[in-house]
Amino acid sequence: MFAIASFLAMTFFYTFTPMSKTYIISGAGSGIGRAIAQKLSTIGNTCILLGRNEANLQQTLNTLHKGEHQIIIADIRNKESLQTAFEKLSDTTINGLIANSGIGGENQWGDNDRWNQIIDTNLTGTYNFVNTFLPLLRKAEDTKQLLITSSVLARLGVPNYSAYCASKAGLLGLMRSWANQFAPENILVNAICPGWVDTDMAQQGLQGIADGIGISKQEFYDIAMQSVPLRRMSQPEEIADLVAYLLNQSSITGQAIDINCGAVMNS
């Protein structure tokens, strides 16, 4: 009887306990990227944290559940930097790439226009990141995942955010192209489109816009939430929960999933 019970217990364990997988997360030093790493580590996965700021990445690493997690310093705008990172991981099999790095803010035509900086990071940087580490993803068996962090501003236009809106909309085109291109290899490609998320980047954005129109950050927050049916920001942990779901399924690909407290309702 004991032997039968032990066999059933082991069968249940191996049937319902997911096997550990390895993910590279760009922009893992803060905000959504940090929350994604925390979520994935809690369910037994290994996280490779990629970014430019070692101190921020170390802070993320310190919050993760035990595992063979590691930090990789690289600038997604720089192919040589990414290639150096790739060589450090050349023997690693990756189950998923999470292209989360990005910057925000306004841009204005003129001498200090940030157009190139934003496009080079958000759009070209994602292209560089994925293509650099794609060989490691191809080594994995079964379903492989590629997930891109876009934005609600891929759906909406905001004055003076032309570079950010264009870069995030461009990511959706990139996602759809890759979803078709990589489908024969059983690589699923999706994007998430968060709205306001309570991160440092969002708080800085609120402050910047409030300063620009001469009101307090709280006053602008109240105005901004009037266009959000749930009247609140999402929390980074909520975004991470959606990411964990998408990484654990095998039939959704080529989709942009909105998570924005109702700010955009697509049918």
pLDDT (0 to 100) of residue 16: 42
For the chain, percent of residues with pLDDT exceeding 90: 84
Please give the average per-residue pLDDT across 257-264, as a whole number: 94
Identify the band that residue 267 occupies on the pLDDT scale cut at 50, 70 and 90.
low
Q: pLDDT by residue (tens digit) across 66-121? A: 899 999 999 999 999 999 999 999 999 999 999 999 999 999 999 999 999 999 99
With a cut of 80, say whether residue 52 has pLDDT above it: yes
What's the average model confidence in pLDDT over 163-182? 98
**Nearest Cα to Cα of residue 25 among 176, 130, 150, 165:** 130
Question: What one-letter code names the amino acid at 233?
Answer: M
Closest CA to 152 of 196, 114, 120: 196
Q: Both tokens of residue 114?
A: 């940030």
Determine the average pLDDT of the residues in 51-57: 97
- For the segment 231-247, what is each residue's pLDDT rounded down to a tens digit? 999 999 999 999 999 99
Compare 4 and 250 and report the one with higher pLDDT. Answer: 250
Mean pLDDT of 118-125: 98
Sheet of 144-149: strand order equals 70-73, 46-51, 22-26, 96-99, 144-149, 187-194, 256-259
What is the pTM (predicted TM-score) of this model? 0.89
